[in-house]
Structure 1
Amino acid sequence: MPSSSCCESSVKQSGAETVEFKIHGMDCPSCAATIEKGLLKTEGIESVKVHYGTGKMTVSTGSSEAHNQVPSQVKKLGFEAESLQAPEGHETYRIEGMDCGSCASTIEKHLRKNPKVKEVRVNFSTGKMQVEHVTDSKEIIKEVGRAGFGASVENTENMQEPSTRPFVFSATTISGVLLAIGFLVSFTALPLAVVTAFYAISIIVGGWKPARSAFYAVKSRSLDMNVLMASAAIGAALIGEWFEGAMVVWLFALGNSLQNRSIERTRDSIRSLINLTPKEATLIENGQQVRKVVEKVSVGEIMLVKPGEKIPLDGDVVNGTSSVNQAPITGESLPVDKQSGDSVYAGTVNESGSLEVKVTKVVKDTTIAKIIHLVEEAQEKKAPTQAFVDRFANVYTPIVFSLALLVMIAPPLVGFGSWGEWLYKGLALLVVACPCALVISTPVAIVSAIGNAAKHGVLIKGGTFLEKAGVIQAIAFDKTGTLTEGKPRVSQVKAKQYDAGKLISIARTIEEHSTHPIALAVTSYAEEREIAPQAGEDFAALPGKGATASISGIQYFAGNPKLFDEMDVAMDDWQEDIKLLQESGHTLILVGTRQEVLGLLSVADTIRDITVQSIQSLKAVGLKEMVMLTGDNDGTAKKVSAEAGVDRYFAELLPEDKVEAVKTLQREGKQVAMVGDGINDAPALATADLGIAMGGAGTDTAMETADIVLMADNLEKLPHTIRLSRKALNIIKQNVWFSLLTKVAALLLIFPGFLTLWMAVISDTGAALVVILNSMRLMKQQ
């Protein structure tokens, strides 16, 4: 099961091994390019793809040796790579007490002295250690303790991420303190060399990491923000602007720290989903209750889920009744009643009675696992706006960088101003050349929105579909199972000069031996009213007409009007009722003998409780047209469309006709979404500008076929999805325009001399932080 903290995807294709890593320390998408270019130079690495939005990296290697080299090579580039699962035979530990990267080295060196330890790797950023050994866990924990640190095996009980680290004296803090001391000392009578020394040390302390990253970026021919900032700081020092240089370094480091803290919150937008499922399950084995970690539970085992507990794995109820809160998976606002035969999902909450559940899926195949996997994939897919911005940035940065060099050299060469003056302006232009805020304006918003949707029971398959949902003008709904329950129900019973209860009893007796949906509707109606069947015999189906049975020696029939017509049974008293009910879209079941009609039952597919409310909410959002597509006759379509509140309907449609109906709406100039079950409506879903499948929690096909999946089997969360998409589009536009205007303003202020180096840094890192915080508003959208 893909996860943001503790698992790895590893598959072999065409002889290559594909592995996933979590990358720490990326400041902007250009860092991703630096890592990709740097790793591709490593022997044995065939392809590299770094996704800045999710902080994930996928690497294809030709051998396990190349795989093992990845973390060290990434470290050389100035970043940290964490394998998303320890290789086979390894154990993962959490380490407590590390204050810096050298602590990690201390532990590694100490453990390597133990002959029972084959390999050890400690990641300071994540506080994790991976060890391959031939001893037991207690020995490893004891060895770490001897080195002065605490260790615990990472298992299913402590997989949750640690809380935010308390404030520590980081390089950024020390750099800021030295800068402040230097600034204060500058007002005293102390020599200028003392002030310069404070500024210089501040630059070294705060700029060491970005300078190292810049070195490897240049080495891999990547022009990222570390290169630009390092160049600006070094240039400022060379022309004697030590205060400016120190201010650039400190503001850059501070901005990065704030950005990283904020961006991690958006990257972890699905962590709450990962933590939904309990780590252990209570199993019933030989009449005893046994606790077992979920990874070791097999299909077919019986779980006991007590009231108030979360359900550990997907399964079917075999004993007990309860109400289950499925909101974490489907977004449904009300609990759902469960009894024997019903399906339940991992991560949902059993609210009342105890349930015995037969496991149907192992932990990596559960619905929640698939949701997490699909959401992570979606967050890595670029939206059209993001692709455009990336192309723009690829052109913008080299142009402005070249312009900065030209500004430094050309004016002084022709005698226009001094070298120092134009070098300073060129350095400010270098800082402005970094399009960080612009590049992250779209992906951060998309990651936040997709994470929010997942928490509300909606899967959006990528930024492209998020953007499309924001511009949809019309929605076409399949009728059966989407607007309606999809299950016929008895709506009226008419019995002239006859007892209605006895009529229903006769009908139930005849229909109980049939599996036809209409027969099941009659049986359910009788059961709900506790009307028992009678003793019958000689049961027989009459294909296309109805069914028959003998009760107390009399042959009774239950079927359509055609059946009684063929038997020449007089129906004059019933013609008006039959006509009115058929015109209003009801299916009729007449009950009688060969001599007379005793009464009739009308059956109709009922509108879902949530349908009308959802349609009204969609209209309130501003959608222009709601359309219903159905294969039913015009009478039924007219009745259902009026009850649902849709604006228009297309009736008597075959599956291929639904495709043509969608095309008709598109030819009218509308962006069209199609909502169906993801299986029968596949052609129409594919034809629409946006395909939305409903009921994804119950069918894998729905989760795979559509662009957007409503996990609940109703439309409750569709208005939220449209609102979220539209707000995401607005925020993306705000971010892009704010980023561009900030850059234009900075460029215009450079040449008159109004923009200082430290102001340029604030305009860059400050703009990036504003963009991130603005995007994070999508995480709170309700």
Structure 2
Amino acid sequence: MDEYKLQGLTCGNCAREMEEEINKLENGEGSKILYNSSKMMLSKGVDMQKVEKILSSDGAVILKEHDDAHGHDHVHTNSSTMKILLGISTIIFLAAIYVDTQWNNPVPVIMYLTAAATSGYSTFIKGVKNLLKFKFNIDTLMTIALIGAFSIGEWKEGTLVAILFGVNELLEGMGMEKARKSMEELLKVAPKEAILIDGDQERVVPISSLHAGDLVLVKSGQKIPSDGIVATGKSSVNEAAITGEAMPVEKEPNEKVFGGSINNEGVLKVRILKEYKDSSLAKILHLVEEAQETKTPTEQFINKFARYYTPLIMIISVLVMVVPPLLMNGDWGAWFYQGLAVLIVGCPCALILSSPIAIVSGIARNAKNGILIKGGVFLEQLGKIDTIAFDKTGTLTKGHPYVEQMVVYDEERFFRIAGSIEKTSSHPIAKAVMEKINDENISYTEPEEINTISGQGVSAIIDGKKFKVGNEKSIDFSLPKKHREDIQSLKDNGYTLVIVSDDEKVLGLFGITDEIREESKEIIGNLYLAGIRNTVMLTGDHNMTAEKVAKQVGLTDYYANLLPDEKVLKIKELTSQGKVAMVGDGINDAPALATADLGIAMGKGTDSAIETADIVLMQDHLGKLPSAITIAKKVNKIIKVNITLALGLKLIALLLTIPGLLTLWIAILSDMGATILVTLISLTIMLGEKRNAA
């Protein structure tokens, strides 16, 4: 399969239809158009001229390689042009209504036609082409509806339909522009180059050229290019891009490292075990791309609806025009009039508005609460969620280490020595220790000499005596039973250890953990009140820490020691049991965010998680999530009411065709009446915000 990037792909249903046409071409079987990522997977040997012709029927083109960097500029320009055209069309439409009430002449008609052409010319052109091919979709119905409305003199109605359909297309295009940009932002986190050690020489090479067995040099602050094993050197490595954990992991020879993780200090030589395309980070990025192409139940319903709705309306209209005159000696002119009225009734204006206005109102109200929802389908999904899965670090916890437990054996020297040594370090754990020591108002002694011992900690000479601050590996003497028991107790309770010692004994212990957000427990309780049945934590941390956090905040379940692909599998397992939302803030969460029915990111998390997610909590906490769910449930309820009203009024109007009582005025009233009702009902969503503000 050859992969191509597309530009101008703005309609999911059209993408499906073009894919079907390409599959009918010689050698075209198996070709795919990926609407969400705006890509095309094309089988070998397909006639490219025919493919380009099919794409051009919906305004899509293959993006050339040299135009790739400007792809989003083109999309942005197109949406800006569409906004301008819709604005001009609306102004002309409103002016035509005013002129229509003042003078009885052809000027208003010309203005209505101008407004309709300005906003709906692309739909009309597509619809005419579809009619010539006997291809029936929403564009075809809209075109016939416009012709029908104008042919019976309903200029205002036809123009309004054209404008509203243009707005709908604009909103869809803008949503997809954001979704596609998120994919490109995610890809930027991948390392681009590596320092390859070739004999006695070092040279910078693209990571795509690395092979298993190559030896690379990774300096302090650089990304490890692919999964491998440490050949020489010791350092702490930030694996947050893979595991999501804030705590750096100490690495020494023969220990494995992940591609995409960052070397904090020192120099490492890493033996590559996998090509980058097979690395953990590459798999994460692939999982995100794959998950974004998975169709939601809502998308599947829309595709099926689009296949049957338009032909059904057209068939009913033709039957109304033809059957009574042929079988019941009806008047051809009268029943043709009735058939045109059916087209007006069949105009999907109220149906189109039954959902968007309610959704826009819900999105606007949530935006005022600091919750960014990227599209209507995500708001609808939020109202259906019954299970929420949380990442731990940075979501339920604050995402930075702090001292929660201490065991002090030598009060006189413990804080003073620890502070004197750790104040010189920028290591996250050192900062956590210093925050605790600063609370004690301890005066420090300036070290006479200080050395970093990779993989162990730091040693220093203070007042002529050697001291160490580090992990268990920094201790090179026998410990008393009490000390061993205290160390084991802290480890069993999920703490990272910092041991302060001299050459003969331990002065004390710091138990480091990630601080739980103060609001987490209350928010979890509020989520249950909002109708959420299950709250689950998915974390790469070890079991004791996970259990501790889950109990403290009141979660129904937790799963520990999970890598990103294992989080994805767990999300898939949960989605088989209900509607699942995933809340996270790191790139390691991105595949799970994309795989879940709904992805929710913390506002100050990584760009990849935010861009991949469907909903962003801008306050960087979960405080407003319960209210967002309540609003979403109200939106879903109103959408159901709106659809019932829109279809119900149209059904009543259609039933009037049986005795031949349907008139254009009744047809227009059923459509416009339904439109007004669904609009007013949808706007009630905003009333709650006004009452809250009052």
Pairwise TM-score range, normalised by the shorter structure: 0.5 to 0.7
CA distance in 2, matches of 1:426, 1:737: 23
CA distance in 2, matches of 1:266, 1:254: 17
Change (3 A) 1:522 1:729: same
Residue 655 (structure 2) aligns with: 748
Deviations 1:286-327 (A, max 9, x none): xxxxxxxxxxxxxxxxxxxxxxxxxxxxxxxxxxxxxxxxxx
Q: Which residue among 734, 740, 751 is the counterpart of 2:641?
A: 734
Q: Once the 2 structures are TM-superposed, how far is the Cα of residue 507 of structure 1 from its aligned partner?
A: 0.9
Q: Confirm or deny: 8 A CA contact 2:93 2:115 kept in the other structure.
A: no
How high is the sequence identity, in percent, across the aligned residues? Answer: 39
CA distance in 2, matches of 1:477, 1:215: 47
CA distance in 1, matches of 2:342, 2:588: 58
Residue 555 (structure 1) aligns with: 466
> Which amino acid letter does the alignment assign opposite residue 478 of structure 2?
D
CA distance in 2, matches of 1:633, 1:398: 57
CA distance in 1, matches of 2:168, 2:432: 53
Change (3 A) 1:443 1:569: same
Q: Confirm or deny: 8 A CA contact 2:537 2:559 kept in the other structure.
A: yes
Residues 111-122 of structure 1 aligned to structure 2 (within 5 Å): none
Residues 279-298 of structure 1 aligned to structure 2 (within 5 Å): none
Q: Confirm or deny: 8 A CA contact 1:631 1:651 kept in the other structure.
A: yes
CA distance in 2, matches of 1:168, 1:680: 51
Deviations 1:569-598 (A, max 9, x none): 4353x5675565444433343434344444
Residues 436-475 of structure 1 aligned to structure 2 (within 5 Å): 436-442=349-355, 460=373, 462=375, 464-475=377-388
Residue 481 (structure 1) aligns with: 394
CA distance in 1, matches of 2:632, 2:150: 41
Q: Confirm or deny: 8 A CA contact 2:394 2:605 kept in the other structure.
A: no
Change (3 A) 1:754 1:630: same
Residue 321 (structure 2) aligns with: 408
Q: Once the 2 structures are TM-superposed, how far is the Cα of residue 747 of structure 1 from its aligned partner?
A: 1.0
**1:533 equivalent in alignment to 2:533:** no
CA distance in 2, matches of 1:495, 1:488: 20
Residues 83-232 of structure 1 aligned to structure 2 (within 5 Å): 126=84, 170=96, 172-176=97-101, 220=129, 222=131, 223-225=140-142, 227-228=144-145, 230-231=147-148
Q: Which residue among 415, 428, 431 is the counterpart of 1:504?
A: 415
Residue 636 (structure 1) aligns with: 545
Residue 523 (structure 2) aligns with: 614
Q: Once the 2 structures are TM-superposed, how far is the Cα of residue 46 of structure 1 from its aligned partner?
A: 8.2
Deviations 1:77-108 (A, max 9, x none): xxxxx99759xxxxx9xxxxxxxxxxxxxxxx
CA distance in 2, matches of 1:671, 1:718: 16
**1:670 equivalent in alignment to 2:578:** yes
Residue 496 (structure 2) aligns with: 587
Q: Which residue among 521, 527, 534 is the counterpart of 1:625?
A: 534
Q: Confirm or deny: 8 A CA contact 2:530 2:630 kept in the other structure.
A: yes
2:588 match: secondary structure? coil
Deviations 1:592-612 (A, max 9, x none): 434444433332211123433
Change (3 A) 1:504 1:390: same
Q: Once the 2 structures are TM-superposed, how far is the Cα of residue 254 of structure 1 from its aligned partner?
A: 7.2
Change (3 A) 1:586 1:625: same
CA distance in 1, matches of 2:453, 2:82: 75
Change (3 A) 1:776 1:263: farther
> Which amino acid letter does the alignment assign opposite residue 345 of structure 2?
V
Change (3 A) 1:387 1:760: farther
RMSD: 5.4
CA distance in 2, matches of 1:771, 1:386: 22
2:622 match: secondary structure? coil
Higher relative contact order (CA 8 A, sep 6+): 2
CA distance in 1, matches of 2:166, 2:564: 50
Q: Confirm or deny: 8 A CA contact 1:484 1:606 kept in the other structure.
A: yes
> Which amino acid letter does the alignment assign opposite residue 388 of structure 2?
I
CA distance in 1, matches of 2:546, 2:445: 36
CA distance in 2, matches of 1:635, 1:488: 16
1:557 match: secondary structure? strand
Residue 480 (structure 2) aligns with: 570
CA distance in 2, matches of 1:479, 1:167: 53
Q: Confirm or deny: 8 A CA contact 2:593 2:609 kept in the other structure.
A: no
CA distance in 2, matches of 1:606, 1:401: 62
Q: Confirm or deny: 8 A CA contact 2:385 2:581 kept in the other structure.
A: yes
**1:651 equivalent in alignment to 2:651:** no
Q: Confirm or deny: 8 A CA contact 2:361 2:685 kept in the other structure.
A: yes
Q: Please identify, of 612-621 and 408-417, the stretch whose mean Cα deviation from structure 2 is larger.
A: 408-417
Q: Please identify, of 645-654 and 590-599, the stretch whose mean Cα deviation from structure 2 is larger.
A: 590-599
Residue 228 (structure 2) aligns with: none
Residue 603 (structure 1) aligns with: 512
Deviations 1:100-123 (A, max 9, x none): xxxxxxxxxxxxxxxxxxxxxxx9
Quick check: which one's helix share is greater?
A: 2
CA distance in 2, matches of 1:423, 1:493: 88
CA distance in 2, matches of 1:416, 1:440: 39
Q: How many residues are matched?
A: 518
CA distance in 2, matches of 1:125, 1:641: 48
Q: Once the 2 structures are TM-superposed, how far is the Cα of residue 756 of structure 1 from its aligned partner?
A: 2.7
Unaligned runs of 5+ in 2: 18-51, 65-73, 132-139, 179-293, 690-694
CA distance in 2, matches of 1:525, 1:546: 18
Q: Confirm or deny: 8 A CA contact 1:560 1:590 kept in the other structure.
A: yes
Change (3 A) 1:256 1:559: closer
Q: Once the 2 structures are TM-superposed, how far is the Cα of residue 651 of structure 1 from its aligned partner?
A: 3.1
> Which amino acid letter does the alignment assign opposite residue 680 of structure 1?
N
1:750 match: secondary structure? coil
CA distance in 1, matches of 2:359, 2:408: 60
**1:491 equivalent in alignment to 2:401:** no
> Which amino acid letter does the alignment assign opposite residue 527 of structure 2?
L
2:448 match: secondary structure? strand
Q: Confirm or deny: 8 A CA contact 2:149 2:157 kept in the other structure.
A: no
1:768 match: secondary structure? helix
1:488 match: secondary structure? strand
Residue 429 (structure 2) aligns with: 518
> Which amino acid letter does the alignment assign opposite residue 525 of structure 1?
K
TM-score (norm 2): 0.59
Q: Confirm or deny: 8 A CA contact 1:541 1:548 kept in the other structure.
A: yes
Change (3 A) 1:765 1:262: farther
Residue 8 (structure 1) aligns with: none
Q: Once the 2 structures are TM-superposed, how far is the Cα of residue 755 of structure 1 from its aligned partner?
A: 3.5
1:681 match: secondary structure? helix
1:637 match: secondary structure? helix
Deviations 1:223-265 (A, max 9, x none): 445644654675xxxxxxxxxx66x5556667878x6999899
Residue 102 (structure 1) aligns with: none
1:504 match: secondary structure? helix
Q: Once the 2 structures are TM-superposed, how far is the Cα of residue 414 of structure 1 from its aligned partner?
A: 4.2
1:509 match: secondary structure? helix
CA distance in 2, matches of 1:452, 1:758: 36
Residue 700 (structure 1) aligns with: 607
Change (3 A) 1:516 1:250: closer
Residues 5-154 of structure 1 aligned to structure 2 (within 5 Å): 47=55, 126=84
Q: Confirm or deny: 8 A CA contact 2:345 2:653 kept in the other structure.
A: yes
Q: Confirm or deny: 8 A CA contact 2:92 2:112 kept in the other structure.
A: no
2:655 match: secondary structure? helix
Q: Confirm or deny: 8 A CA contact 1:478 1:675 kept in the other structure.
A: yes
